[in-house]
Chain A
Amino acid sequence: MLTPKSEYRRKLTTPERAVSGIKSGSTIVHGLAAAEPPALLQAIADRLRAGDLHDLKVHSLLPTGNVSKSLLSPDLSDCVQAFSWFVSKSSRSAVKVGLNYYVPNHFHQVPRLMRENLDIDVTVTMVSPMDKSGFFSFGTANDYTSTVARCCKRLIVEVNRNQPRVFGDSLLHVSEVDAIVEHTSPLIEFKWPGPRPEDDAIGSMVADLVPDGATLQLGFGGLPNVIAMKLVNHKDLGVHTEVFGPAMVELIKKGVVTGRRKNMHTGKHVFTVAEGTRQMYRFMHDNPSMESYPVSYTNDPAVIAGNDNMISINSIIQVDLLGQCNAESLGGSQYSGTGGQLDYVRGAYNSRGGKSILAFYSTAKSGQVSRVVPRLDSGAVITTPRMDVHYLVTEYGTVNLKGRSTRDRALDIIGIAHPRFRESLLREAENMYLL
């Protein structure tokens, strides 16, 4: 019988050999974000550039540096058909000109969508080193990666000593793997823009909506960081989130986030994907309080609702006077994605005492454009329908749209628009017979 160590040695190979069996026309899915495996992706790209491979279908969600430098590089556009399940900076341009196709989805459904609708030939992902019992950890990327790892024809893992080992349902046994390569490189770090003047007011208003003992879903970026800083005097907060980011680490270290009052996974910080800094990855490593689960679990609205006082905090690009929110399209093009926004909007509202908060700046383009608009732009996508919108927060205030009439919600929304645009918005609301 093979021991884990001997099985590991038997499957250990070079990136070039590991990808040598991939055939033209194959469908490939790779690990998400920080789990994009650079050596394997580069080895596949080398074959494409050598003319040895063509017509690959590559599925990404939030593609970042390692895949954009390799399989999604413009010079491979003729031999790769690329699909983005969430559009990132790396894929936005290609999506705009039809060289990369967005796949609409709710994040919690992605594991099922991929399992049932893609005939996946190869999954490549990065994992943490194997333990003595033969288990790797999916580390920063559980999401759909743990599902596609198990429904593909060939699973190739890239072992990286920097990939944190996390707990929860994040383990992968060596017997499940077809080939192993070792490659140590720094994980991709995610930077966010510096604070904006409006952040302070928005952060304070959001913090006011969060009771002690609440469980948080907080996105990644400048605003979530500011919101987190405003929560430092709260007590016994918990984390049940899609993206685990650096802001949460600070709250855990300060003892603000303890998870003690969570109904589910008490004392544990639950997430499905982690995007942050080297320090954050170190904090996560071998930390028994960090638990990751597939996104079909973390983002299932029914699971989200299982914690009392669940507070979800997300952002949007535009809201119209009906309360319809666009969080994913800009100028008629796909800018980001639905992601888990509606998963958490619905789950949080269904939690006892829960709230879903959509926070946004009242203007864009240095104050020249109002994000509160009479009607969404032509071609804009509704991410959160008006029936689902709960709290909206800008630097000018907070409104709760639940149970409000079309008249009341139009007035409420205008009330949190930038004052410079309120008169014209009121006029348009009248023209639309909302008032």
Chain B
Amino acid sequence: MYLAEKQTGNVNVLSVGGRLDAYSAAEAEKKIDSLIETGKVKIVLNLNSLEYISSSGLRVFLAQLKKARKQQGDIKLCCMKPNIKEVFDIAGFTQLFNIAGDEAEAVAGFNA
């Protein structure tokens, strides 16, 4: 798994690529956690390069979503590959997250 962070206005965009599984979930959790801890609670996760997500990855996303929303922020997802979208659908997670087709749309969602 790899993570790349950038800022677009007041929104932090984190690109998550590779495999988000039991081995890498803690690293992703730590990264998102550090953003929220420092008050950066408007977060877009760009999943364009995410190849695989396990239940550990799903749980990290959900726990961080709750943290961000508790602080009046949000985590929006974008650019999901069909196999990742399918996992979210099966898990019932598509109803929990705001999911955008592309990054610009996800970022704009914070300013709507």
Minimum distance in angstroms from B74 CB to a CB of chain A:
15
Provide the residues of chain A in CB contact with B87, threshold 8 Å. Answer: 97
Closest to B70 in A: A51
Closest to B59 in A: A78
Contact residue among A74, A78, A99 (Cβ-Cβ distance under 8 Å from B66)? A78
- Which of B1-9, B91-99, B100-108 faces chain A? B91-99
- Interface contact B55-A98, CB-CB below 8 Å: yes
* A-side interface mostly: loop
Closest to B56 in A: A98
Contact residue among A75, A96, A97, A98 (Cβ-Cβ distance under 8 Å from B62)? A75
Provide the residues of chain B in CB contact with A94, threshold 8 Å. Answer: 91-92
- Interface contact A99-B91, CB-CB below 8 Å: yes
Q: How large is the interface on A (under 10, 10 to 19, 20 to 34, 35 or more residues)?
A: 10 to 19
- Interface contact A74-B96, CB-CB below 8 Å: yes
* B-side interface mostly: helix
Q: Does B26 contact A (CB under 8 A)?
A: no
Residue in A51, A79, A96, A98 whose Cβ sees the most chain B Cβ within 10 Å: A98
Provide the residues of chain B in CB contact with A75, threshold 8 Å. Answer: 62, 96
CA distance A77 to B92 in the complex (A): 10
- Interface contact A99-B58, CB-CB below 8 Å: yes
Provide the residues of chain A in CB contact with B112, threshold 8 Å. Answer: none
Provide the residues of chain A in CB contact with B96, threshold 8 Å. Answer: 74-75
**B residues neighboring A (CB under 8 Å):** 54-55, 58-60, 62-63, 66, 70, 87, 90-93, 95-96
**A residues neighboring B (CB under 8 Å):** 51, 73-75, 77-79, 93-94, 96-99
| Besides the known contacts A51-B66, A93-B92, 17 further A-B residue pairs in the complex with CB atoms under 8 A apart | A74-B93, A74-B96, A77-B58, A77-B62, A78-B59, A78-B60, A78-B62, A78-B63, A78-B66, A93-B90, A94-B91, A94-B92, A96-B90, A97-B87, A97-B91, A98-B55, A99-B59
4 closest pairs, A vs B, by CB?
A: A74-B92, A98-B55, A78-B63, A78-B62
